[in-house]
Structure 1
Amino acid sequence: MNYRSIFNSKLFADHNIIVTGGGSGIGRCTAHELSALGARVYLIGRKLDKLGRVQQEIMEDGGKAEYRVCDIREEDAVTACVKSIISECGQLHGLVNNAGGQYPAPMAAINQKGFETVVRTNLTGGFLFAREVYNQSMSKHGGAIVNITADNWGGMPGMAHSGAARAGMDNLTKTAAYEWGCAGVRVNAVAPGWVASSGMDTYEGPFRAVIPTLVEQVPLKRLATEAEVSSLICFLLSEGASFISGDTIRVDGAASQGSGVWPLPKARNSHSYNGFHRAVTPNVLQKKD
Structure 2
Amino acid sequence: MPELLDLLSSSLHRGSTVFVTGGGSGINLGIAETFARTGAKVAICGRTEDKLVAATARLRDLGADALYAVADVRDHDALTAALALTESRFGPVSAVIAGAAGNFNAPAEKISANGFKTVIDIDLLGSFNTAHAAFAQLAETSGSILFVSAGQAYCPTPNQAHAGAAKAGIENLMKNLALEWGQYGIRVNTVVPGPIAGTEGVERLSAEVGAEQWRQAVPLGRFGTTADIGVMAAILASPLGGYVTGSQIVVDGGFGLAGFGMLRRDWMSLESEGARS
Normalised to the residue count of structure 2, the TM-score between the two structures is 0.88
Does the 8 A contact of 1:93 with 1:142 survive in 2? yes
Taking structure 1 as reference, are residues 110 and 240 closer, same or farther at Cα in structure 2, changes over 3 Å only? same
Q: In the alignment, which residue of structure 2 is the partner of 1:238?
A: 238
User: Does 2:120 match 1:131?
Assistant: no
Following TM superposition, by how much is the alpha carbon of 1:158 offset from its aligned partner in structure 2, in angstroms?
Answer: 0.8
Tell me, yes or no, if structure 1 residue 210 matches structure 2 residue 209. yes
Question: What is the aligned partner in structure 2 of residue 77 from structure 1?
Answer: 78
Residues 113-132 of structure 1: matches in 2 within 5 Å? 113-132=114-133
CA contact (8 A) 1:5 1:231 kept: no
Instruction: Kindly indicate whether the alpha-carbon contact (under 8 Å) linking 2:145 and 2:187 is maintained by their aligned counterparts in 1.
Output: yes
Identity level (%) = 33
Instruction: Give the equivalent residue in structure 1 for 2:227.
Output: 227
Distance of aligned partners of 1:237 and 1:203 in 2 relative to their CA distance in 1, 3 Å threshold: same
Please tell me whether the aligned partners of residues 5 and 33 of structure 1 are also in contact (alpha carbons under 8 angstroms). Answer: no
1:151 match: 151
1:133-179 deviation line (CA, Å, top 9, x unaligned): 01x31223310111100012221211111110001001111010010
Asked whether the 8 Å contact 2:47–2:72 carries over to 1, the reply is: yes
Report the counterpart of residue 15 of structure 2 in structure 1: 14
Match of 1:34 in 2: 35
| Contact 1:40–1:63 (CA under 8 A) maintained in structure 2 | yes
The aligned length equals 259
Between 1:250-259 and 1:116-125, the stretch displaced more is 250-259
Matches within 5 A, 1:1-289: 4-134=5-135, 136-152=136-152, 153-200=154-201, 203=204, 208-212=207-211, 213-258=213-258
Give the CA deviation at 1:201.
Answer: 6.6
Q: Alpha carbons of 1:7 and 1:112: their partners in 2 closer, same or farther (altered >3 Å)?
A: same
> Within 1, Cα distance between the matches of 2:261 and 2:77?
49
Return the letter of the residue paired with 1:113: N
Structure 2 residue ranges without an equivalent (≥5): 263-277
Partner SS state of residue 224, structure 2: coil
Question: Following the alignment from structure 2 to structure 1, what is the Cα–Cα distance between the partners of residues 261 and 16?
Answer: 47
Shift of 1:60: 2.1
| Post-superposition CA distance 1:176-215 (Å, at most 9, x none) | 00100000000000011111133237747xx741151211
Q: Which amino acid aligns with 1:165?
A: A
Greater displacement, 115-124 / 213-222 = 213-222
Give the letter aligned to residue 220 of structure 1. Answer: L
Instruction: Give the distance between the partners of 2:261 and 2:105, measured in 1 at CA.
Output: 26
Deviation of the 1:2 alpha carbon: 7.5
**Whole-angstrom distance in 2 between the partners of 1:95 and 1:74:** 17
For residue 166 of structure 2, give the secondary structure of its aligned residue in structure 1: helix
CA distance in 1, matches of 2:260, 2:70: 43
SS of 2:29's equivalent? helix
- Separation (CA, whole Å) in 1 of partners of 2:128 and 2:261: 38
Residue of structure 1 equivalent to 2:273: none
